[in-house]
Amino acid sequence: MNTMNTTVTKEAAMPDETPVPVQEERPAETIIQEGATVGTPFADDPKFKLRNVEVFYGQDRAIKNISLDIARNEVIAFIGPSGCGKSTFLRCLNRMNDSIDICRVKGDLHLDDENIYDPKRDVVELRARVGMVFQKPNPFPKSIYDNVAYGPRIHGLANRKSDLDDIVENSLRKAGLWEEAKDRLDATATGMSGGQQQRLCIARAIAVSPEVILMDEPCSALDPIATAKVEELIAEMSESYTIVIVTHSMQQAARVSHRTAYFHLGHLVEVNETNKVFTAPEHELTESYITGRFG
């Protein structure tokens, strides 16, 4: 007897029902073309010009031949499934990856036509120009005032106490925190609410007059009200700064960003106007992600 001929009973369609054709799932690796980002990854006169970027952790290639321009004063959102390389790519922009021993960055990365990875580059100065706000608010265990004054002091931005006072006040105002903080500037920052702490970290980043602010899931530890405040702030800040934000919230990307970049397995699959990404994505993987089929 040929066991291979055993009849397999297929689930029969109901007589009055047309069977729904099953769309075959193709592995993402076979759909992605390395280095070929669809949409509009390039810009005229960009703030960042990033070409053929690859990032390795030891032998593992976490970023695979990504080329992207980030325009001046744009808000660009990085989205994509967990582990696809959003944070790794973001950290290349101010050399935060330098602190990870096994991490190696290859490619051409320029900020205003200056090579970010030039061995002679002053990384402290770079990070003053390209500030960062992390997922978890991380104020120093110092007073509110000293948190904001920290960067300006290190960089010698204020000669007199009154200049420093002005920087602290302006930064807290821009971060939407002045009214809540002005009567407790000497209080320790870690005693503030999570949302206040995150706005304090934004004030700290702003205090050194950066040109770019990188934000890695800045609202993921915040409640909806604190999130709304930070989003309002992003909209206001985009007039003065270039902002790159990593987010797992597609609603957030849609609300705050001009362009959205979709990452998948270390590739940059699609970059387009945010509205287009969420209403008419060009790439089938982007569509699968935004319609919730994976992620």
Q: Which residues bind Mg ion (CB under 5 A)?
A: 87
Q: How far is the CB of 101 from Mg ion (least distance, A)?
A: 19
Q: How far is the CB of 244 from Mg ion (least distance, A)?
A: 13
Q: How far is the CB of 87 from Mg ion (least distance, A)?
A: 3
Q: How far is the CB of 62 from ligand ATP (least distance, A)?
A: 4
Answer with the entry of Mg ion, ligand ATP, none that 57 interacts with (C-beta below 5 to 8 A by kind).
ligand ATP
Report the residue number, 37 or 87, with the smaller CB distance to ligand ATP.
87
Report the residue number, 79 or 206, with the smaller CB distance to ligand ATP.
79
Q: How far is the CB of 46 from Mg ion (least distance, A)?
A: 23
Neighbours of 102 (CB within 10 A): 9
- Token pair recorded at residue 253: 């990307």
Report the residue number, 87 or 97, with the smaller CB distance to Mg ion.
87
Q: What is the Cα–Cα distance from 122 to 127, expressed in whole angstroms? A: 9
191 in Cβ contact with 148 (< 8 Å): no
- Token pair recorded at residue 295: 């992620």
Report the residue number, 55 or 164, with the smaller CB distance to ligand ATP.
55
Answer with the entry of ligand ATP, Mg ion, none that 84 interacts with (C-beta below 5 to 8 A by kind).
ligand ATP
70 in Cβ contact with 43 (< 8 Å): yes
List, as one string, the DSSP characters of 53-107.
EEEEETTEEEEEEEEEEEETT-EEEEE-STTSSHHHHHHHTTTGGGGSTTEEEEE
Answer with the entry of Mg ion, ligand ATP, none that 88 interacts with (C-beta below 5 to 8 A by kind).
ligand ATP
**Nearest one of 229, 280, 282, 274 to 79, comparing CA atoms:** 274
Report the residue number, 171 or 257, with the smaller CB distance to ligand ATP.
257
Answer with the entry of ligand ATP, Mg ion, none that 83 interacts with (C-beta below 5 to 8 A by kind).
ligand ATP
Residues of the shown chain interacting with ligand ATP in the complex, contacts defined by CB under 6 A? 57, 62, 80, 82-88, 100
53 in Cβ contact with 106 (< 8 Å): yes
Answer with the entry of ligand ATP, Mg ion, none that 85 interacts with (C-beta below 5 to 8 A by kind).
ligand ATP
181 in Cβ contact with 172 (< 8 Å): yes
Q: How far is the CB of 278 from Mg ion (least distance, A)?
A: 21
Answer with the entry of ligand ATP, Mg ion, none that 65 interacts with (C-beta below 5 to 8 A by kind).
none
Strand duo 130-133 + 46-57: pairing: unpaired
- Token pair recorded at residue 227: 């999130």
